[in-house]
């Protein structure tokens, strides 16, 4: 697809409870610019408020997921403009993390700098072997991608990537826990459909509470994390759908299998 001046930098598709956001600057290797930051934030804000959306996929148009910040755009910017553009990006990343429903990054190509940030802000990543990850900001004389990857990969590997420009392959990313699923390119479509079908059938309130518990609890000490889960359990018990879910689970024939009762 060739982008014109009027083309959106983020494509939005809603279908059967799934919202797919596609980074759409293939001629610039989907480099993140002011327009993409603004359009990404606007799309995420609308999706967060849309109760019909059960799942969000973030993908990219073209062979590169995202080549990082658009450095051409920064030519001629003063310090204030650069800082404002970077704050716009941070706001967009935070909006991905704040989505109440599951958000999954789908990578079929390289993610550099800002691309790693976008992917890491999602709940998990599904990738093909064409995906890769690189954070060379420090080598370019700037600072970035220092917050999410160290939490996921550990600080030593994150520093290796930042200090040396090391590219993490899809296989290495899977081994280190950055990629949740590494799938054959030929099977990607079917797997995404399967994931979407499973998530869209699940009670959305329970998924939102589970996501909240994980995201909040990981930043707390064990006592605080447990209280977060207890609060979520109490909130869930006030909802009638949980009874329907338990009843449906019993009808599936798994109720008598040891270990299927879940936590608590």
Over residues 25-67, the pLDDT tens digits come to 999 999 999 999 999 999 999 999 999 999 999 999 999 999 9
CATH number of 203-251: 1.10.12
68-84 tens-digit pLDDT: 999 888 888 889 999 99
Please indicate whether residue 53 or residue 209 has the higher confidence score (pLDDT): 53
Distances (CA, A) of 117 to 91, 125, 199: 12, 12, 24
Mean per-residue pLDDT, 192-211: 94
Residues contacting 129, CB < 8 A, separation 6+: 169, 170, 171, 182, 184, 185
* Residue 161 pLDDT exceeds 90: yes
- Angle of helix 222-237 relative to helix 204-217, nearest 10 degrees, comes to 170
What ranges in the chain are assigned the alpha helix state H? Answer: 34-48, 71-74, 79-98, 114-121, 148-153, 155-164, 170-175, 188-201, 204-217, 222-237, 241-251
| Domain chopping of the chain, boundaries | 10-199, 203-251
CATH number of 10-199: 3.90.226.10
Inter-residue contact 76 to 43 (CB < 8 Å): no
Please indicate whether residue 151 or residue 218 has the higher confidence score (pLDDT): 151
| pTM of structure | 0.86
Please indicate whether residue 137 or residue 125 has the higher confidence score (pLDDT): 125
242-256 tens-digit pLDDT: 555 555 545 554 444
Please indicate whether residue 179 or residue 224 has the higher confidence score (pLDDT): 179
Q: Band the pLDDT of 261: cuts 50, 70, 90.
A: very low
Please indicate whether residue 29 or residue 147 has the higher confidence score (pLDDT): 29
Position 252 scores a pLDDT of 52
The first and second tokens of residue 66, run together, are 């995202």
Inter-residue contact 232 to 212 (CB < 8 Å): yes
Residues contacting 91, CB < 8 A, separation 6+: 37, 41
Q: Band the pLDDT of 4: cuts 50, 70, 90.
A: very low
């Amino acid at each position: 697809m060739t982008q014109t001046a009027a083309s959106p930098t983020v494509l939005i598709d809603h279908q059967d409870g799934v919202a797919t956001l596609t980074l759409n600057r293939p001629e610039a290797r989907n480099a993140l610019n002011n327009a993409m930051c603004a359009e990404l934030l606007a799309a995420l804000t609308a999706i967060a408020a849309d109760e019909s959306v059960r799942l969000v996929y973030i993908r990219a148009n073209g062979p590169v997921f995202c080549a990082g910040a658009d450095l051409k755009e920064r030519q001629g910017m003063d310090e204030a403009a650069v800082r404002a553009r970077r704050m716009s990006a941070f706001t967009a990343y935070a909006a991905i993390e704040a989505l109440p429903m599951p958000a999954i990054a789908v990578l079929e190509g390289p993610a550099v700098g800002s691309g790693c940030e976008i992917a890491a802000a999602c709940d998990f990543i599904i990738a093909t072997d064409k995906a890769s990850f690189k954070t060379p900001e420090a080598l370019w004389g700037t600072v970035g991608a220092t917050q999410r990857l160290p939490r996921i990969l550990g600080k030593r590997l994150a520093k290796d990537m930042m200090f040396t420009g090391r590219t993490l392959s899809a296989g290495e990313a899977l081994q280190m826990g950055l990629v949740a699923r590494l799938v054959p390119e030929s099977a990607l479509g079917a797997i995404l459909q399967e994931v979407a079908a499973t998530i869209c059938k699940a009670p959305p309130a329970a998924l939102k509470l589970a996501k909240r518990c994980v995201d909040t609890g990981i930043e707390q000490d064990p006592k605080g994390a447990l209280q977060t889960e207890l609060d979520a359990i109490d909130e869930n018990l006030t909802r009638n759908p949980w009874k329907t879910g338990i009843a449906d689970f019993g009808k599936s024939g798994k109720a008598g299998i040891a270990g299927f009762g879940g936590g608590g």
